[in-house]
Amino acid sequence: MSIPLVINLRPRLLILLAMALLTTNAHATATGPVVRLFPTTVLEDIRETGQAAEAMENSLQEVIGRLDLQQQLFSESLCDGADGDQGCDRIAKQLGATYLEMLNIMSDGLPDMERAVDSTRRSLEKRLREELGQRTTPTMLQNTLLGEVSATPQTVRPALRGKSGIRLSGRFKQYYDLVATHNNGPSQSLAVVAADIYLDMEEASMLIAATQQEISRAALMEQLNQSFGLITPEMSAVVSGVKEILFGEAMTNAPIAAPPNAVGETDFVSPLAM
């Protein structure tokens, strides 16, 4: 069944969260080529991705609430394994119908997400190629990664990734607001941030496309399941996954694309040092 693909989308979408936060560094450094990795166009792409996420959220919120109630009813009615019980069959069919509704909403919303993600990916690709690929030497790149502009005080900002309990669109808005209004953020390796986002956007684009292709098949499978009144474990998993993505519930701790640790240099500096 196609549902695992839908589930696989989750970490990619979580990356979108990180993407928005990571761009809080866009104005962090005043000099060097890296600052140009996040021009206004990229920020605008991020804002649009947030809007697409918000639209999907809003449209899914009601149906997921219904799914929750139906699932709870199914569970409290001890319908698990109760084959042949008419009441349970009815609940199962209702659940399946709501699930189909959710798939349709996702199917409607994904093209906008796809466009937003692809736009971010393409604009970042251009910036990476020009700024890090063509205008930067390996030596400069290494210096950039090490954050030669150090000792900038850390400012309060949201955690990069992890359990937040914040809605996807809310995080995007929060990050965008930070980027748009904050000019003296911490000095961090924007190159890493841009690279991380770009690679994730690439993967997200592919997964969204694959998911779109599979949704229709998933819907068909569910329509068939409707005939038998089944609730598949995959249905539950998908619903949980969508909730995690959109509403920040029980989000997993993804690895953080952190800049190098700001550990102070030792006092001694060799005349041989690079």
Partner 1 sequence: MSRITISAVFITATLVLLGACATQPVADVCTGKLPGNLDRAISEVEHRLRQGCDYHFNAYFTSLLAIAAENPDRDNPRRFSDHLMNVQADGVISRRQASALYNRFFNVKFVSFTGDYNTCAQACPVRTQILTDMRAELTDKEMGLVKVSDDPERFYRADNLFLEADLVLEATCRACQGGRPSPDELASRNR
142 binds partner 1 (CB under 8 A): yes
202 scored as a contact of partner 1 (CB under 8 A) = yes
User: Which region, judged by CB under 8 A, interacts with partner 1, from 24-32, 41-49, 215-223, 251-259?
Assistant: 251-259
Cβ-count burial of 41 within 10 angstroms (0-12 exposed, 13-18 middle, 19+ buried)?
middle
- Shortest spacing between CB 200 and partner 1, in angstroms: 10
Burial class (CB in 10 A: 0-12, 13-18, 19+), 32: middle
> Taking the complex as a whole, how short is the minimal distance between the CB of residue 145 and partner 1, in angstroms?
5
CA distance 5 to 14: 15
> With binding defined as CB under 8 A, does residue 137 bind partner 1?
yes
Q: How far is the CB of 208 from partner 1 (least distance, A)?
A: 16
**Cα 189 to Cα 162, 195, 215, 243, distances in angstroms:** 20, 10, 38, 32
Cβ–Cβ under 8 Å, residues 196 and 161: no
Task: Give me the least distance between CB of 188 and partner 1, in Å please.
Answer: 11
Query: What tokens does 133 get?
Result: 């690929």
Judged by CB under 8 A, which stretch of 74-82, 84-92, 140-148, 210-218 contacts partner 1? 140-148
Determine the Cα–Cα distance for residues 230 and 213; give it in Å rounded to an integer.
23
Closer Cβ to partner 1, 159 or 258, answer by number: 258
Q: What is the contact surface with partner 1 in residues (CB under 8 A)?
A: 121, 124-126, 128-129, 132-139, 141-143, 145-146, 189, 191-192, 194-196, 198-199, 202, 257-261, 263, 266, 268, 270-274
